[in-house]
Amino acid sequence: MRHLALAALLVACGSHGDDAGDAGVDTPPERGTVTVHVVDKLGAPLPDLHVVFIDTDSTQTDIVTDAEGIARAEVSIGASATAERASSLGCAFALTTLQQLVPGDDVTLISGTTNPDDPFTNRVIPADTTPAGNFTINFPSSGGAQNYRVYTPCGPTDVGTTTSPSLPFTAGCARSPMTVVVLVTSSTGLPQKYAELDNVTFAPGGSATVTDTWHDIAPVTASYTNTTTKVTRIELERYATYLRGLPMTVGSAMPAANSGSIAITTPMPAAAIMRSRLLCASGSGPDCVSTPTGVAQQTITQTVTGTDATYALDVGGNLLPWISGNYDPDTTTMQIQTSATMFVDVFEANLRYYRKNSIAACTNQYIYTWRVFGPMPSSVTFPTLPSTLPGDPTVRPSDTQSAYQLYLGESDAINGWREAIKNVYEALGVCEASPTLTSKLFTQGTLNRLSQWN
């Protein structure tokens, strides 16, 4: 068993995605200490949470995090660790399992003190909304402008016709230096002209003045080749410098003859982000991945030179494996199907389930969310945990399953699973590259890919 785990580890360490392995990978000791830190969204330690280490011989060690939010155990290569967080009322329980641990691993799991802030439950690390102060952006007027929209790391803000708006920044999105892009839009929000200012130093109460002239929006053509038989629709979003909030421009196409093209008219700042969502329709044919219980889709997010009039994406050359799943309650196993076998930066499978009880304060049921992370897509059997854990969370065949999702992630900002395991929620967030304002703003790679089924 250890030899199989070590072989998988060496492949995951020595390769990134489908690239060939690198020489000279350090082999870790077969047994040693693994350290797990459990923190909240701001990095503060969370004490008194259970972390169950399961070794390759099935030995279990239940450690409670100390005052610094740390749990440690001696394990072998290929062991796993499962952390649990109970809600303040004791009605909801969220768990995270890390597979393929290696002696010497020092990993961080981000949880929250309340359910809405908990990535264990919601998968997404929430943004730090602590106020960082206001910052004023001054820019020249444009004759006949009906509205101005200002793009910053905190997302776009419509400011009406004022040319000196004071914008609120939060700690989670304040950046220095930063780039500011200002659009002139119609009353319905369509962009008409734009101006840009780079290298802006943010300071609470500070200001900056856009000295750029107004530029006309221009046509950009996005070409998609090698779309494969699985991609039935392409949706494109183009963002300014930061992947945050609403896009500047959108478009869509139905590929034909193994290709597709989307023409948009858009602002063209120095840097832009192209976010392509690739959909596969539900059906019974061999090329269909979506099913009545889950929709398959992939997202490819790429930073580009914003002044380029063309964008080209080899879809088939950048697609991750398509993935789908089916949960078998009798074996408590998430059965995984993929279009190809591939080590990725991060794989995540999760299950939400309910269990009846007689506690009125919990509306007579417990709610569980369990997320499992690993280096490649494979079927997941949820482990048996000590019954003494809060809520006795081990999945039972009699539990009611409400939902389950699957994710594969790759980013050129992450060097494989051995790096991703250090902070799996951040790694998944980097690969997903979500523009949602309520999620943490990550330092993105230039190419981020996500395959999902839910």
- Chain segment 236-295, per-residue pLDDT in tens: 999 999 999 999 999 999 999 999 999 999 999 999 999 999 998 777 666 778 777 788
Which pLDDT score is estimated for 291?
76
Residue 5 has pLDDT above 60, yes or no: no
Question: In this structure, what are the phi and psi dihedrals at residue 163, rounded to the nearest 5 degrees?
Answer: -110, 10
| Cα–Cα nearest to 193, from 153, 236, 256, 146 | 146
170 plus 244 within the same structural domain: no
Look at residue 379 and tell me if it is in a domain: yes
Look at residue 88 and tell me if it is in a domain: yes
Structural domain including 305 reads 218-289+299-316
- Chain segment 212-251, per-residue pLDDT in tens: 999 999 999 999 999 999 999 999 999 999 999 999 999 9
307 plus 333 within the same structural domain: no
Q: Give the rounded percent of residues in the chain with a pLDDT score beyond 70.
A: 93
Q: How far is CA 32 from CA 77, 103, 138, 216, in A?
A: 8, 4, 57, 61
Longest dimension (CA), the chain: 74
Provide the domain count of the chain: 3
**2-23 b/e (C-beta count within 10 Å ≥ 16 → b):** eeebbebbbbbbbbbeeeeeee
Q: Which strand ranges, in their side-by-side order, compose the sheet holding 207-209?
A: 166-170, 131-138, 207-209
Look at residue 346 and tell me if it is in a domain: yes
What one-character DSSP code corresponds to residue 422? G
The structure tokens listed for 24 are: 């000279």
Cα separation, 350 vs 96, whole angstroms: 9
Look at residue 148 and tell me if it is in a domain: yes
170 plus 270 within the same structural domain: no
Cα separation, 347 vs 336, whole angstroms: 11
204 plus 236 within the same structural domain: no
- Chain segment 51-110, per-residue pLDDT in tens: 999 999 999 999 999 999 999 999 999 999 999 999 888 899 999 999 999 999 999 999
Which pLDDT score is estimated for 435?
95
Cα separation, 374 vs 395, whole angstroms: 19
Cα separation, 49 vs 83, whole angstroms: 7
The structure tokens listed for 176 are: 């220095």
449 plus 332 within the same structural domain: yes
| Cα 353 from chain centroid (whole Å) | 22
Considering only CA atoms, give the Rg of the chain. Answer: 24
Residue 173 has pLDDT above 90, yes or no: yes
Percent composition of the chain: helix, strand, coil (DSSP 3-state, to 5): 10, 45, 45
Look at residue 75 and tell me if it is in a domain: yes
What one-character DSSP code corresponds to residue 2? H
Look at residue 294 and tell me if it is in a domain: no
104 plus 160 within the same structural domain: no
| Final residue before a domain boundary, out of 216, 251, 277 | 216
Cα separation, 330 vs 319, whole angstroms: 33
Amino acid at 84: E
Which pLDDT score is estimated for 394?
97
Cα separation, 174 vs 172, whole angstroms: 6
CB 158 within 8 A of CB 116: no
The mean pLDDT value for 119-132 works out to: 93
Whose tokens are 């004759």? That residue is 143
Query: Under DSSP, is residue 420 helix (H, G, I), strand (E, B) or coil?
Result: helix
Quickly count helices (H) and strands (E) in the chain.
5, 29
The mean pLDDT value for 203-211 works out to: 98
Cα separation, 448 vs 454, whole angstroms: 19
Cα separation, 37 vs 96, whole angstroms: 12
379 plus 435 within the same structural domain: yes
Look at residue 257 and tell me if it is in a domain: yes
Helix or strand (DSSP H, E) at 5: helix 2-14
> Which CATH number goes with the domain that contains 23?
2.60.40.2190
- Chain segment 322-355, per-residue pLDDT in tens: 999 999 999 999 999 998 889 999 999 999 999 9
Cα separation, 253 vs 273, whole angstroms: 18
196 plus 308 within the same structural domain: no
359 plus 431 within the same structural domain: yes
329 plus 284 within the same structural domain: no
Query: Under DSSP, is residue 135 helix (H, G, I), strand (E, B) or coil?
Result: strand
Cα separation, 377 vs 296, whole angstroms: 15
114 plus 197 within the same structural domain: no
143 plus 262 within the same structural domain: no
What one-character DSSP code corresponds to residue 436? -
The structure tokens listed for 343 are: 């080590």
Global confidence as pTM: 0.92
> Which CATH number goes with the domain that contains 265?
2.60.40
| Final residue before a domain boundary, out of 216, 245, 263 | 216
Question: In this structure, what are the phi and psi dihedrals at residue 192, rounded to the nearest 5 degrees?
Answer: -125, -40
Q: Give the rounded percent of residues in the chain with a pLDDT score beyond 90.
A: 84
Amino acid at 233: R
Whose tokens are 């539990």? That residue is 399
Whose tokens are 């596969």? That residue is 280
Q: Which strand ranges, in their side-by-side order, compose the sheet holding 323-328?
A: 323-328, 333-338, 380-381
| Final residue before a domain boundary, out of 198, 216, 234 | 216
Instruction: Give the Cβ contact number of residue 375 at 10 Å.
Output: 22
What distance, in Å, lies between the first and last C-alpha atoms of the chain?
32
Which pLDDT score is estimated for 285?
66
Look at residue 444 and tell me if it is in a domain: yes
